[in-house]
A and B are shown apart, each in its own frame.
Chain A
Amino acid sequence: MSLVRNAFNYHQNWQQAWRSPEPKREYDVIIVGAGGHGLATAYYLAKEHGVTNVAVLEKGWLGGGNTGRNTTIIRSNYLRDESAAIYDHALKLYEGLSQELNYNIMFSQRGVLNLAHNLHDLRELSRRVNAIRLNGIDSEILTTEQVKAMVPIMNTSPHSRYPVLGASLQRRGGTARHDAVAWGFARGADARGVDIIQNCEVTGIKRNGAGVEGVQTSRGFIEAKKIGVVAAGHSSVLADMVGLRLPIESHPLQALVSEPIKPVLDVVVMSTAVHVYVSQSDKGELVIGAGIDSYNSYAQRGSFQVVQHQISALLELFPIFSRLRMLRQWGGIVDVCPDASPIISKAPIKGLYFNCGWGTGGFKATPGSGWVFAYTIAQDRPHRLNEPYNLERFSTAYLIDEHGAAAVAH
């Protein structure tokens, strides 16, 4: 009914899902960056810790960073115990998130396949599946025939360039609507009193002795004794404002979608070895993720040859896609950490907290990351789940090495 009514009004009178308040002079907590992680942090600060005098400052529009640019793959089949704990915490939150937020995030647990193309891949996958199951997370190994039965359009011929020797499957994995995750958290946070301030770029962080005093922004100075930085690809820029060095480098990561077609693929397919990630959206488009450009960049666009490489691998696996046209292609700036694990940590400066380093795979962690970061800020100490993800691990060498182990990215 309202759809029809609003259609006649050129869709100008839909009610607002959140306010657009003027910034106050002072907040208890300022969150820098209104991506999914920042918004989830604000939501859980208000909901779990009763901290509602919170502002989320965003230089562009909310969800316009990597949150609105990713290929939306969600899974928790990580090798390390620390990773299993935090990613599965996030997955469990996802399982109830539409209810929790009263907002349909279109979470679809259609299963995630990780392919093995040679014997080594297969052994590595089997080892990982066993480790994952020991952590109580669902995971199983499929044979070539089982993969073919699940994805009939895949080229599983032993003569293909990338023969499929088997796969691991996490049935609880899948996809969700990325914008809806940001919008749902934004609406929920706003309803609890959080101010979400868009078009407000943080240009400086003011220190006060051992602590922080507030942030300089494109809309004036705003006071806060606690500042949580959740700026993904721009984390180093924010850290530089207080002379802090991070082990992070920013790289472009691209994705593309095809024209919509009838349903042909009802599971997410990933291949580490040949860098293919593909799923089919509810609209029928194929959503395809590419690799990162090797060089540092803040340009939010990647190179053509990366896409070319990506598509050639995709067509080897799915010859049926060869006549498809691609509709859109874009890039995000991902914050890559040397051990491919995030930093969710207090900074050496009192009242300053960093949540970054999610690189190519943080969408799946959004609710869990916000949940532990809210705890860390409210209590001024890490939760058990993010304790290992401290900044000191680069000095203590207690790295959480997920390179390769995590089936690369995403």
Chain B
Amino acid sequence: MLLIKCPWCGDRDEHEFSHGGEAHIVRPKDPEKLTDDQWADYLFMRKNPKGAHLERWVHAHGCRRWFNVERDTVTHAITAVYKMNETPPRRSRT
């Protein structure tokens, strides 16, 4: 089980949280201007990297707030936790 550091509540067990998938996917401003392929890319296509992954978590059974995490998908090590409006740590590619 992962130990996740909620920015508001500190270290808590993984099962208090829900995983929210890849971070920094922004809903396009003018969806009607997009091609079907661009819309599909926004809706469905994912980076799914082997290595550093920027992802969202929500402290569902705690403060219920969302935040971002950088986690390695091979070792599961969490290398950064940052808030929703913050930019990812510099070493990760976005």
Chain A residues with a Cβ under 8 A of chain B: 234, 236-237, 240, 245-250, 294-299, 303-305, 338, 394-397
- Report the bound CA distance from A249 to B49 in whole Å: 9
Is B14 part of the contact surface with A, judged by Cβ < 8 Å? yes
- B36, B55, B74, B76: the one contacting A396 at CB < 8 Å is B36
Alpha-carbon distance between A234 and B50 when the two chains are bound, in angstroms: 8
Cβ-defined contact, B39 with A249, below 8 A: no
Would you call A305 and B15 a contact (CB within 8 A)? yes
Q: Count contacts on B: residues with CB < 8 A to the other chain.
A: 28
In the bound complex, residues from chain A placing their C-beta under 8 Å from that of B14 are 303, 305
**Contact residue among B19, B36, B39, B73 (Cβ-Cβ distance under 8 Å from A250):** B73
Q: Is B40 an interface residue (CB 8 A)?
A: yes
Subset of 30 A-B contacts with CB under 8 Å: A234-B50, A236-B46, A236-B47, A240-B49, A245-B45, A245-B47, A246-B45, A246-B48, A247-B45, A248-B46, A248-B48, A249-B21, A249-B48, A294-B18, A294-B19, A295-B2, A295-B19, A295-B55, A295-B73, A297-B73, A297-B76, A298-B50, A299-B74, A299-B75, A305-B1, A305-B15, A338-B43, A394-B44, A395-B36, A395-B37
- Taking the closest CB of chain B, its distance from the CB of A335, in whole angstroms, is 9
CB-CB nearest in chain B for A247: B44
A394 and B45 in contact, given A249-B21, A295-B19, A296-B53 (Cβ under 8 angstroms): yes
Considering the chains assembled together, what is the distance between the CA atoms of A305 and B13 in angstroms? 11
**B19 proximity list for chain A (CB < 8 A):** 294-295
Q: What's the nearest-Cβ distance from chain B to residue A59, in Å?
A: 12
Q: Select from chain A the residue with minimum beta-carbon distance to B17.
A: A294
- Residue numbers of B with Cβ under 8 A of A are 1-2, 14-15, 18-19, 21-22, 36-37, 39-41, 43-50, 53, 55, 71, 73-76
Number of A-B contacts (CB under 8 A): 68
**A299 and B73 form a contact (CB under 8 A):** yes
Inside 8 A of A248's CB, which chain B residues have their CB?
46, 48
Taking a contact as CB atoms under 8 Å apart, the answer to whether A394 and B18 are in contact is no
Closest residue on chain A to residue B38 by CB atoms: A395
CB-CB nearest in chain A for B74: A298
> Do B50 and A395 touch across chains, with their CB atoms under 8 A apart?
no
CB distance from A339 to the nearest CB of B (A): 9
CB-CB < 8 A to B48: which residues of A? 236, 246, 248-250, 296
Q: Which residues of B contact A395 (CB under 8 A)?
A: 36-37, 39-40
Closest 10 CB pairs of A and B: A247-B44, A236-B48, A245-B45, A294-B19, A395-B40, A395-B36, A394-B40, A295-B19, A394-B44, A298-B50
Q: How far is the CA of A304 from the CA of B21 in the complex (A)?
A: 21
Shortest Cβ gap from B42 to chain A (Å): 11
CB neighbours (8 Å) of A294 from chain B are 18-19
Contact between B44 and A338 (Cβ–Cβ < 8 Å)? yes
How far is A236 from B40 in the complex, measured between Cα atoms in Å?
Answer: 16
Contacts of A298 in B (CB 8 A): 50, 73-74
CA distance A247 to B37 in the complex (A): 12
A338 to B53: give the CA distance in the assembly, Å.
19
Inter-chain CA distance A395–B38, complex, in Å, is 8
User: B41 contacts which of A245, A249, A297, A305 (Cβ < 8 Å)?
Assistant: A245
Q: How far is the CA of A120 from the CA of B19 in the complex (A)?
A: 28
For B44, the closest partner residue in chain A by CB is A247
**List of B residues within 8 angstroms of A234 by Cβ:** 50
Which among A295, A298, A299, A396 has the greatest number of chain B C-beta atoms within 10 A? A295
Shortest beta-carbon distance, A327 to chain B, in Å? 22
Q: Roughly how many angstroms separate A120 CA and B47 CA in the complex, as a whole number? A: 36
